[in-house]
């Protein structure tokens, strides 16, 4: 069985930045879950996506890290939508159906970009053990902003928002494998998402994953949307408003995630956008 795939960089303002993605645009119906997981491990990117159906209004997708299937992820959503639009499978507007729900996407092939409207944010329980969180990031409790809570937020998958005092502090953070795994398991979150506000609409972030396979993720759209909700909720940005989240510099893949936030009843409407750069293709032989 020959299964073609495409390779793209997402949340990149230039080729070979952002987060790498492998997209299987036509998944054979006989390809089972175990084999999808094995292929994602073989590729070794943060995520690999498998398009399992195309509908008049969009498509269905399954998303795998090298270790597990996810209900939702950010750069796989944009990269998959862009790939399908580029190949004429979908139009410039579509709805992605994934484990977390339906995600509207917009694709601009000319601009080399895509955006998504994320699901309404949900907030988990406040994390009281600030010392454990700081230690997992190689920091001290005083390196975190004391008046801001550490709290998991989800628009499809939970990431823990960790406000750090300044950019210099964020840069010297070092992921502790064991402690990251322990604290993420305790709070049932995918990662610690450390961030520092550098200016109006300017935030730097670093994502320390719960597992060592990914380690530090270069661009995390599923965390950038929740970060936008967190910033709005705590009055750290004006709404409606936007913020550019810079990520990935420490792992050699500069990434730029553009988040727009506006009030939506008693919640927030969150759009996350970024550049997409196709750079290769191939096929699995099974």
Domains for the chain: give ranges and CATH numbers. 2-117+275-285 (3.10.310.10), 122-273 (3.10.310.10)
CA distances from 13 to 24, 169, 274 (A): 23, 25, 8
Distance CA 213, CA 68 (A): 11
- Residue 5 is inside which H or E element, if any? strand 2-10
Position 74 scores a pLDDT of: 98
Backbone φ, ψ for residue 171 (5° rounding): -65, -35
**H or E stretch including 117?**
strand 113-117
Q: What are phi and psi of 42, to 5 degrees?
A: -65, -45
State how far the alpha carbon of 73 is from the alpha carbons of 171, 179, 190, 199, in Å. Answer: 25, 23, 11, 27
Of 26, 30, 47, 216, the active-site residue reads: 47
pLDDT at 191: 98
Half-sphere exposure of 8 (CA within 13 A, CB side): 29
Is residue 278 within 8 Å of residue 8, measured between CB atoms? yes
Answering whether pTM is above 0.85, one says yes
CA pseudo-torsion sign 190, 256, 215, 103: positive
pLDDT at 241: 96
Identify the residue whose tokens are 């454990």. Answer: 132
Is 47 considered catalytic here? yes
Which pLDDT belongs to residue 91? Answer: 98
Q: In the chain, how long is the greatest CA-to-CA distance?
A: 56
The helix-helix angle for 74-86 and 221-233 (nearest 10°) equals: 120
Residue 282: Cβ within 10 Å count: 12
Give the pLDDT confidence score for residue 273 in this predicted structure.
98
Residue 93: both structure tokens together = 């507007």
**In terms of DSSP H, where are the helices of 54-93?**
74-86
CA proximity to 207, closest of 244, 270, 250: 250
Transcribe 245-257 into DSSP letters.
Answer: EEE-GGGT--EEE
Three-state secondary structure call for residue 43: helix
Residues in contact with 267: Cβ distance below 8 Å, sequence separation at least 6, in sequence order: 120, 121
* Cβ-contact 225, 121 below 8 angstroms: yes
The CA distance from 163 to 160, in Å, is 10
Q: Return averaged pLDDT per consecutive 10 residues of the chain, 286 residues in all.
A: 97 95 98 98 97 97 97 98 98 98 98 98 97 98 98 98 98 97 97 97 97 95 98 96 97 97 97 98 96
């Amino acid at each position: 069985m020959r299964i073609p795939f495409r390779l793209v960089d997402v949340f990149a303002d230039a080729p070979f930045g952002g987060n790498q993605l492998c997209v299987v645009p036509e998944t054979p119906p006989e390809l089972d879950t175990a084999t999808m997981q094995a292929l994602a491990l073989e590729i070794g990117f943060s995520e690999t996506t498998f398009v399992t159906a195309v509908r008049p209004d969009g498509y269905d997708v399954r998303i795998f890290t090298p270790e597990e299937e996810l209900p939702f992820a950010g750069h796989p959503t944009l990269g998959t939508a862009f790939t399908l639009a580029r190949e004429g499978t979908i139009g410039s507007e579509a709805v992605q159906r994934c484990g977390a729900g339906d995600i509207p996407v917009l694709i601009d092939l000319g601009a080399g970009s895509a955006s998504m409207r994320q699901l309404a944010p949900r907030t988990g329980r406040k994390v009281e053990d600030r010392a454990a969180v700081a230690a997992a990031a190689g920091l001290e409790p005083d390196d975190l902003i004391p008046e801001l809570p550490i709290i998991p937020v989800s628009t499809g998958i939970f990431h823990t928002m960790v406000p750090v005092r300044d950019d210099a502090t964020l840069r010297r953070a070092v992921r502790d494998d064991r402690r990251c795994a322990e604290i993420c398991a305790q709070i049932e979150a995918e990662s610690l998402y450390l961030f520092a506000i550098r200016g109006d609409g300017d935030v730097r972030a670093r994502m320390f994953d719960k597992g060592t396979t990914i380690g530090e993720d270069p661009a995390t759209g599923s965390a950038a949307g929740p970060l936008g909700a967190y910033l709005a909720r705590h009055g750290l940005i004006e709404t409606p408003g936007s913020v550019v989240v810079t990520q990935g510099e420490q792992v050699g893949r500069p990434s730029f995630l553009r988040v727009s936030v506006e009030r939506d009843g008693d919640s927030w409407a969150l759009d996350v956008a970024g550049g997409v750069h196709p750079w290769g293709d191939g096929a699995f032989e099974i």
